[in-house]
Amino acid sequence: MGDEERTYLLHLIEKEIIRIEKAEDIERARKDKRFMVIEADMMANVLTPQNKVGMFHYVTKLCNSNLTGYIHHFNRGCCILWHQGLAGKDGNTMAVAQSKLIDWALEVRKSKLLFYIYN
């Protein structure tokens, strides 16, 4: 077995371990009122308005970004939405969106928090 195959096999094992741990964390959040799990994902950019009429289609498009999160503790979702006129998708913007999601979750109920984010 070569180095690349070992590295890939190790990656698959670590991925499975993380999947199992996440499932255990989600189950704990369902049972323990002092524990909360948030899963968040950056969704695809959405161009608005949705039309296809000549130059208006190209000149007036606005790119919207969103971070969607699901809080397993109390089965609620939240979407943080912003457009390119406010900010882009740099590190600071992403950190602010993530912190807003966490702030929103903690406003509803103060508890221990575990945050999973996908990109």
Expressed as residue numbers, the domain containing 98 is 3-118
Model pLDDT, residue 41: 87
Identify the pLDDT of residue 50.
59
In whole angstroms, how far apart are CA 24 and each of 19, 85, 103?
Answer: 9, 40, 24
Overall domain count for the chain: 1
The pLDDT tens digits along the chain (119 residues) read 789 999 999 999 999 999 999 999 999 988 888 888 999 988 767 766 655 555 555 555 677 888 888 988 778 888 888 877 677 677 788 888 888 888 888 887 777 888 888 76
Encoded tokens for 27? 């189950």
